[in-house]
């Protein structure tokens, strides 16, 4: 849904090529960012955001590869991507980090409604 939102913003404000590029970047970045959310059922701010050096490394490498694919013309041409300006990058980055806010709200809601972390109970049952 967030990838389609990125495409929609890019397409409506800047054209189909920019929309495609924003969707491509956000698709990869959304998954990289979300990997921090799913490593624990606790808030990412409580669970030690920088404890897993392999996760940090994978995030940095994935981010670097996403940027390289967009800014190196021969590679970008293969994927039919175009360079983004600062505003377009900002939109894409903000959309890509939205899962942190969404999942933090969900984790807080689960704690308030059920009085426990739901994911831990599910894991114990299986």
DSSP E strand stretches across the chain? none
Structurally, how many domains does the chain consist of?
1
pLDDT tens digit sequence for 12-65: 999 999 999 999 999 999 999 888 887 777 777 777 777 889 989 999 999 999
Q: What is the pLDDT of residues 65-111, one digit of tens each?
A: 999 999 999 999 999 999 999 999 999 999 999 988 888 888 888 77
Task: Look at residue 120 in the predicted model and tell me its pLDDT.
Answer: 52
CB count within 10 Å of CB 126 equals 4
Q: How would you classify residue 72: left for phi > 0, otherwise alpha for psi between -120 and 50, otherwise beta?
A: beta
pLDDT of residue 125: 52
pTM exceeds cut of 0.85? no
> Residue 29: which domain range?
2-125
Contacts from 86-95 at CB under 8 Å and sequence distance 24+? 88/10, 88/14, 88/18, 88/21, 88/22, 91/6, 91/9, 91/10, 91/22, 92/6, 92/22, 92/25, 92/26, 92/29, 93/29, 95/2, 95/5, 95/6, 95/9, 95/22, 95/26, 95/30
Dihedrals φ, ψ of 48, to 5°? 80, 80
Nearest to 35 by CA among 11, 15, 52, 17: 52
């Amino acid at each position: 849904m967030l990838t389609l939102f990125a495409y929609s913003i890019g397409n409506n404000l800047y054209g189909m090529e920019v929309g495609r590029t924003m969707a491509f970047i956000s698709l990869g970045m959304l998954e990289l960012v979300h990997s921090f959310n799913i490593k624990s059922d606790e808030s990412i701010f409580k669970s030690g955001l920088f404890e897993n050096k392999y996760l940090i490394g994978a995030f940095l490498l994935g981010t670097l590869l996403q940027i390289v694919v967009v800014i190196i013309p021969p590679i970008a041409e293969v994927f039919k991507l175009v360079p983004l300006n600062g505003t377009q990058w900002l939109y894409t980055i903000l959309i890509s980090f939205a899962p942190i806010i969404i999942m933090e709200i969900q984790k807080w809601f689960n704690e308030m409604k059920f009085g426990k972390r739901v994911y831990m109970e599910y894991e114990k049952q299986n």
